[in-house]
A and B are shown apart, each in its own frame.
Chain A
Amino acid sequence: MNEALEPVALRAMLESMLLIRAYEEKAAAMQASGQAAGTCTSVGQEAAAVGVVAALGADDLILTNHRSAGHLLARGADPARLYAEVLGKSTGYCKGKSGSLHISAKELGVVLTSTIVGAELSLAAGVGLAASMQERDSVVACFFGDGAACEGSFHESLNLAAVWKLPILYVCENNQWQAFVHRRETMPMDQVSTWAAAHGMPVATVDGNDVEAVYRAAREGIAHIRATGEPYFLETYTYRQRGHYEPDDQGYVDKAELAAWLARDPIDRLQQNKQFSVVEIQTIQKRVAERIEAAWATAVAAPYPTHADLTADVYA
């Protein structure tokens, strides 16, 4: 599993990470200027999203949470429809009913996004159960945070997946923060994989700011799930560079810790280590910036839902 990645694949990952970064920075800037409501960004965690999603196949499924833009964009979501959802427009993925916190997109295999921390862990068990009952080859990737691992549903989900042999790739993005509380205040050890291992499944903790390492680890986990039908636990060790949501002055964040992690920024690292040519990087950045500006303009121009939409989609 250690062969070098194709330059094309790496370039695609870089572009995906830059797209996520640009998308979220724009969303944050629009919040700051009063043009959008607050959102939770994943700035600094792009490698975790891109590395895992790149390793998934077309029939695989994703469950995610409040910090989902990276997972959605890595999976090919249209930034214009994401912005539309953030702005409460009818062209958003959830017709404006969700806002930024619980965007799911069935057409992309991103099912059942929940902002109830830990809910995705409960629901993933059922999605995995269906995949197993229906003898589909789908792997269910469940993204969640270190905070979610403190909820009872974390242990309930891992236990059920282990004893029922459910095809779930648990992806814990350990970004060191649980809203306004540091991870070190809420759990006695540094890695969530310690807990997961106790549930009797194979685990790996990987440098979450190294997209190649994440991709390789995810591929290994997915291969295990496809071969055995059983769950696998992957922890991406990373850092939430911005606040819990926008706006957040991060007054409670240790400056030295933040600086140390900023120096390990996943996008900078990929750009430096792989020596993409300056022109190449500039070309990608320009393409991404144009896409984001166009997406924002499209979303702003889109209509709001109508009064009749208020009572639509309550029951099937």
Chain B
Amino acid sequence: MSLLHISDLRVSYGGIEALKGISLDVEKGEIVTLIGANGAGKSTTLRAISGLVPLKTGTITYDGQVISGQSPQKIVSEGICMVPEGRRVFPNLTVLENLRIGAYLRKDDIQPDIAHVYQLFPRLKERSWQLAGTLSGGEQQMLAVGRALMMRPKLLMMDEPSLGLAPLVIRDIFRIIRTLHEEGITILLVEQNANAALRVADSAYVLETGSLGMHGTGEELLNDPRVKEAYLGKSRGQ
């Protein structure tokens, strides 16, 4: 049984249907990527899983339990954490506070987790007392990832973590994604940078204006001529 199972998910904003009935599975321990053009509905999918937007139809099952219709608080407490699009660190909180707030629902000792995040991202440790708003884009992205790790997620959802970052920083981010994968965290990765995403993914879906198109392993989609044509053209060789 898959860790996350979505069936016939429809979401609309006002009258506009952003997701037109999608079904997908995320297997435990895998990296699953969702690629697609701007406006395809990738973020909406993650926001629906998080409980931030109401579903029109469909069910989302996580670890055998239906989580659709639950509050975002409940869903986070189940171990589904999100690194939102555009990072969204709290600019008026320090780096350390951003990590602490990531563990908002936890009652146990979070020191080991802070140490772990600082070990993954030594730059954050140096900037512990700095306000997050003063960090560079790459550092903010690392903080957003670190913040999500503070809940000890079982399923980590990342919405375009490479957006707007320099190639070297993007490489760091993907290195971290691999590390987290090795630590056993299941990852649902949304990317426009299809090339890099397909390379790390065990399984991949293509989302086209609210409907799922192709599906296969990362490798398969990477070599698929239609995917090459539509999504890999510009980013090839990155």
Do A and B make up one complex? Answer: no
